[in-house]
Chain A
């Protein structure tokens, strides 16, 4: 069974950093892209970042709201994707989900499946 588990969330002060992990199982992780999507309390979904498989160069995409502050990466030997978040702001408070997807050089397909999400609270 394909399974993703997001972890690493917690309470962090504004301006500090946090690293989220997305652990995958049940499929060949290196063949797939991974995305992070967040959901602020009581709000809708916001795409955050995506990383393609190494077969497509492992290239990355970011939302403007996190570009230059967040870095997505992957370790295919461990079947884990990461989201390194720095210079955190209160508006980054959200549940962060990771999801698998198929991407080529140009675009990515739908997100499926999603992990259960890890909460991040940015507050002093």
Chain B
């Protein structure tokens, strides 16, 4: 099973600042990596697929990069609606696995 790790566990950021979230896979997943945003009491929402492609309707302040085992989600200028938990998921191999999440909260 591919183990996904995310860092940091919590990221405290002020509105307008940049946030950089990391995701690492225990073995290569190619570009088969997605990022999801989850707000309290809501279902997750797809942000980034194929490592770097923005999903429909996702603002361009969200960007993804990386391939293989190292991936990054960057939020260029945090807005109030961006404070949430972010999960990465590999869908390169079964079983599909998620990282433990990074909580982005207000500094």
User: What is A's interface to B at a CB cutoff of 8 Å?
Assistant: 37, 44-47, 50, 61, 63-64, 97, 107-117
Contact = CB atoms under 8 A, between A and B. Distances in A.
A79 B42 CA distance: 23
Interface of B: 32, 34, 36, 38, 42-46, 49-50, 55, 87, 89, 91-101
A112 B91 contact: no
A44 B91 contact: no
B98 A110 contact: no
29 contacts: A44-B87, A44-B98, A44-B101, A45-B36, A45-B38, A45-B44, A47-B95, A47-B97, A47-B98, A50-B96, A61-B94, A61-B95, A64-B95, A97-B44, A107-B32, A107-B91, A108-B91, A109-B49, A109-B50, A110-B46, A110-B89, A111-B89, A112-B46, A113-B45, A114-B43, A114-B46, A115-B43, A116-B43, A117-B43
A80 B27 CA distance: 35
Contacts of A114: 43-46
A49 to B, nearest CB: 10
Contacts of B87: 44-45
Nearest to B92: A107
Secondary structure at the B interface, as helix, strand, loop or mixed, is: loop
Secondary structure at the A interface, as helix, strand, loop or mixed, is: loop
Contacts of B97: 47
Nearest to A98: B43
A45 B89 contact: yes
A46 B89 CA distance: 10
Given A45-B89, A117-B43, A111 B34 contact: yes
